[in-house]
């Protein structure tokens, strides 16, 4: 779906023990200067020094010093497009996913020289397809998800980091009107070397589409989140193969925020208490106690942690709303004051996360 989205789930290290001791950790928030006034929609940290972000006007920004300085640029030929998703691989390598106001505007770009040049790897030629988000298992293996077309999800996959092929025949049948919300690239999540989950809505049931074999086969599981043409499961993240969290709500209702958790790989879900935010929740980002593997892929072996942050989007203009956080995986919520106007957040580790949003705003967050 073409709706912008923002909500955030952050899993911070050591929060469980601190919460048990009555010592609620408070985040440190540090504004940074991006070098652009364009809306930044998506962000992807590679590590605590290298971060990529992207947004409107064909704009990308990158830092190699933890955000002390940022370099901005515009991808040639993409100035009329919005970048809804970004995947950073290193200080030299990154992928961008674009949409725009005319057909065909969905494209996937890749740079291997730090953004100085970009190669167009894929351009959508299917009428009715709307690609919402992509995610990667490794620097060369990823999957891109689209809204359904005539009952089929025309998803694509790369296994070499260069070419993309259809996996539509591997996907489960779509429900009437079933689609996803771009959610700053977080309507899809990968974990480990083969697992992935996609959040959907737009139909009578909000579902999770799941694969455990790198996209060769998929199952569909119902969630308890509200679903209709303007509502559904919007953003999803998994801490390990079993424990996940999904958030969403109704974009037309400013009192619709919903969060649910799973402990069986997404097969069943239980709603958590409602966070104190207005609007639907978008954009989940997990943060573990230790940094992820090389280039930001893979998972540390420690168990998932239980602190959660959410940010919302509100009517009438789908503007970013307020924020809240939970120290216990959504069971208890606290307001996070002063964090608004941001569209996405992601983390390298618990000490290095970044919000991005309106007018090129960037805010570093650490616990």
Residues 298-329 have pLDDT tens digits of 443 333 355 556 657 766 666 677 777 777 77
pLDDT above 70 (res 6): no
At 283, the pLDDT band (50, 70, 90 cuts) reads confident
At 17, the pLDDT band (50, 70, 90 cuts) reads very low
* Cα–Cα distance, 30 to 344 (Å, whole number): 16
By C-alpha distance, which of 246, 301, 353 is closest to 7? 246
* 77-111 per-position pLDDT tens digit: 999 999 999 999 999 999 999 986 556 779 999 99
pLDDT above 90 (res 184): yes
| Residue the block writes with tokens 């070397």 | 193
For all residues of the chain together, what is the average pLDDT?
Answer: 86
At 5, the pLDDT band (50, 70, 90 cuts) reads very low
**Which has more pLDDT, 165 or 297?**
165
Total residues found in the chain within this entry: 367
pLDDT above 90 (res 63): yes
At 27, the pLDDT band (50, 70, 90 cuts) reads confident
Give the pLDDT confidence score for residue 308 in this predicted structure: 59
Please, what is the end-to-end C-alpha distance for the chain in angstroms?
A: 33
Quick one: average pLDDT of 35-45? 96
Question: What's the predicted TM-score (pTM) here?
Answer: 0.89
CA distances in angstroms from 123 to 59, 60, 212, listed in the order given: 18, 19, 27
pLDDT above 70 (res 278): yes
Q: Which two tokens stand for residue 190?
A: 């990968």
DSSP state, 359? Answer: G
Give the pLDDT confidence score for residue 279 in this predicted structure: 86
Give the pLDDT confidence score for residue 248 in this predicted structure: 93
pLDDT above 90 (res 178): yes
Give the pLDDT confidence score for residue 319 in this predicted structure: 64
Q: Over pLDDT 90: what percentage of the chain? A: 64
Which CATH number is 15-366 given?
A: 2.130.10.10
Contact status, residue 288 vs residue 11, Cβ threshold 8 Å:
yes
* 233-260 per-position pLDDT tens digit: 999 999 889 999 999 999 888 778 999 9
At 332, the pLDDT band (50, 70, 90 cuts) reads confident
Quick one: average pLDDT of 14-38? 70
Give the pLDDT confidence score for residue 306 in this predicted structure: 55
Give the pLDDT confidence score for residue 316 in this predicted structure: 61
At 277, the pLDDT band (50, 70, 90 cuts) reads confident
Give the pLDDT confidence score for residue 23 in this predicted structure: 59
Give the pLDDT confidence score for residue 314 in this predicted structure: 65
| Burial profile 216-244: b = 16 or more Cβ within 10 angstroms, e = fewer | eebebbebebbbbebbbbbbbbbbbeebb
């Amino acid at each position: 779906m073409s709706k912008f989205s923002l909500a955030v789930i952050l899993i911070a290290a050591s929060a469980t023990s601190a919460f048990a001791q009555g010592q609620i950790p408070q985040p440190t928030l540090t504004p940074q200067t991006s070098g652009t006034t364009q809306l930044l929609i998506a962000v992807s940290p590679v590590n605590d020094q290298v971060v990529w972000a992207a947004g409107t006007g064909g704009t990308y920004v990158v830092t190699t010093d933890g955000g002390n300085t940022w370099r901005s640029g515009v991808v040639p030929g993409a100035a009329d497009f919005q970048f809804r998703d970004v995947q950073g691989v290193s200080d030299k390598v990154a992928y961008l996913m674009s949409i725009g106001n005319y057909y065909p505007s969905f494209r996937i770009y890749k740079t291997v020289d730090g953004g100085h040049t970009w190669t167009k790897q894929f351009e959508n030629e299917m009428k009715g397809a709307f690609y919402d988000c992509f995610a990667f298992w490794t620097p060369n293996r990823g999957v891109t998800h689209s809204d359904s077309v005539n009952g089929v999800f025309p998803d694509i996959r790369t296994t070499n980091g260069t070419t993309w092929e259809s996996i539509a025949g591997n996907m489960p049948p779509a429900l009437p009107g079933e689609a996803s919300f771009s959610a700053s690239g977080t309507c899809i999540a990968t974990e480990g070397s083969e697992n992935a989950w996609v959040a959907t809505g737009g139909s009578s049931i909000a579902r999770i589409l799941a694969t455990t074999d790198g996209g060769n086969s998929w199952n569909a599981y119902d969630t308890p989140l509200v679903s209709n043409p303007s509502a559904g499961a919007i953003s999803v993240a998994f801490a390990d193969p079993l424990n996940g969290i999904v958030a969403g709500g109704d974009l037309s209702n400013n009192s619709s925020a919903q969060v649910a958790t799973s402990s069986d790989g997404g097969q069943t879900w239980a709603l958590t208490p409602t966070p104190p935010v207005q609007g639907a929740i978008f954009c989940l980002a997990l943060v573990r106690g230790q940094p992820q593997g090389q280039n930001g892929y893979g998972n540390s072996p420690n168990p998932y942690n239980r602190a959660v942050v959410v940010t919302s989007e509100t009517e009438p203009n789908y503007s970013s709303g307020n924020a809240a956080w939970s120290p216990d995986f959504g069971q208890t919520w606290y307001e996070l004051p002063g964090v608004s106007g941001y569209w996405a957040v992601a983390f390298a580790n618990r000490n290095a996360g970044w919000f991005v949003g309106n007018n090129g705003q960037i805010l570093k967050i650490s616990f």
